[in-house]
């Protein structure tokens, strides 16, 4: 079993739709959970960061963590064509200088059609 599982998609939705992206993981030591957005031929850009379980909202984006189920989600409301990108979940057991050893999912490719 891989440490982090993420459906690679591709996922295609119409503009304005609510998008749900998910990852599951197996390592119960993970406490820090992140979502990155990666446009083609660019580096990953941090979208959301969550510690432990719970929800976090930032504009059209909501991140949810359910540690009991080892399941994390990213919701995008009112999706826009500019949201078309690959979304990567990442997680780690530590934060701080050594937190750079992140475990990434393979990424889900999202396309939002006008």
77 counts as binding other proteins under rule CB under 8 A: no
**Of 11, 13, 93, 102, which one interacts with other proteins (CB under 8 A)?**
102
Q: CB–CB of 93/101 below 8 Å? A: no
Q: Shortest distance, CB of residue 114 to other proteins, whole angstroms?
A: 26
- Dihedral sign for Cα 82, 77, 38, 96, please: positive
User: How is residue 51 written in tokens?
Assistant: 């510690």
User: Which residue's CB is nearer to other proteins, number 14 or number 43?
Assistant: 43
46 counts as binding other proteins under rule CB under 8 A: yes
- Residues in contact with other proteins by CB under 8 A are 4, 6, 8, 36, 41-46, 49, 88, 90, 95-107
């Amino acid at each position: 079993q891989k440490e982090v599982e993420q459906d690679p998609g591709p996922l295609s939705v119409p503009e304005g739709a609510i998008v749900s992206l998910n990852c599951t993981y197996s390592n119960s030591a993970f406490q820090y959970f992140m979502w990155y957005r990666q446009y083609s031929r660019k580096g990953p850009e941090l979208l959301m960061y969550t510690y432990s379980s719970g929800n976090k909202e930032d504009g059209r984006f909501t991140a949810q963590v359910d540690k009991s189920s080892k399941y994390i989600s990213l919701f995008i409301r009112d999706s826009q064509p500019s949201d078309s990108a690959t979304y990567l979940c990442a997680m780690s057991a530590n934060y701080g200088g050594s937190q750079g050893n992140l475990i990434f999912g393979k990424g889900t490719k999202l396309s939002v059609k006008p």
